[in-house]
Amino acid sequence: MFEFLEVLSPGCGASFQDAGRPGWKRFGVPAGGWMDPAAAGLANELIGNPADAVVLELALQGARFRVLRDGWLGLAGASMGWTPGSVRVVLRDEEISFLRPENGVYAYLAAPGGWAAPQYLGSAAVSARSGLGRGLAAGEVISSRRDPTCRGPEGAAPAGQSVGYRPRIEACLWPGPQWSEFSAAARSAFFATEWRVSARSDRMGVRLEGASIKGPGGTMLSEPVLVGSVQITGEGQPVVTMRDGPTVGGYPKIGWLDQAGCCSLAQLPPGGTVRFEPWKK
């Protein structure tokens, strides 16, 4: 292990993440893992790491670090003062900061060999609300698994690959288990609304604000909930289950988003808007 960065501030949230821990949902443990797998994978590719190497997920703004030794870092995802989709040399005693993003929500910082992080149920993915690890705190020192000056194999990607995130998106909605139980008027209202992302959104779920959607009458038993499930609360507002979300729930699910839709939604900041488009047969 090579001590590489000292945490000066975790900002709005900095945590170790990887592909998560599938196979534990039957015990009530969410899969967890990176909110934007595509961006996390690019960060690892840039630095020459295996696709499943542990990355540091940064949320929104404010993360600051002191560099403890010279080395390489790869960044992808939201732009936070660095060019996303790029590699950068950092020098000992340099202070690096990640500012309020110009676009996107989550950025991914990769170090040579991946970050050294404790494992919980076979994964380093932090899911604090499930009691699996915790976010980083000021004063901690984090280490890379390989000498930071060694930038991985020859297959490392060139700099300049990035994805631009927009404040307004469209996402394809697939029918959920209770789709047919919503009235035609409720389904039409759902698709006609431009939904706004609530500031109360987090790794558990993206809360949307807009028209009030009338759900099916009566009560329903709790049933399994997948990442991407679009539930309609008792107040008629959608909540999209994300990586650290519950594994069961009792709200009716009007639809479901695939991984591409979840990635796009995860990178939509508070105040950003989304319109849903019905699936095409």
Specify the CATH number for 168-278; select among 2.40.100.10, 2.60.40.10, 1.10.3720.10, 3.40.1360.10: 2.40.100.10
* CA 77 – CA 104 distance, rounded (Å): 7
Q: Are strands 273-278 and 248-249 parallel, antiparallel or unpaired?
A: unpaired
What is the band of 128 on the pLDDT scale with cuts at 50, 70, 90? confident
Kindly state the DSSP code that residue 158 receives in the 8-state scheme: P
Copy the structure tokens of residue 75.
């960044």
Report the chain's mean pLDDT, rounded to a whole number.
91
Q: Which two tokens stand for residue 11?
A: 């900002």
Distance CA 147, CA 100 (A): 30
Give the burial string for 20-45 (b: 16+ CB within 10 Å, else e): bbeebbeeebbbbbbbbbbbbbbbbb
For the whole model, what pTM was predicted?
0.92
pLDDT tens, residue by residue, 148-178:
888 765 545 555 555 668 889 999 999 999 9
Question: Where does residue 180 fall: left (phi above 0), alpha (psi -120 to 50 degrees), or beta otherwise?
Answer: alpha
Pairing status of strand 229-232 against strand 238-241: antiparallel
| Residue ranges of domains in the chain | 2-144, 168-278
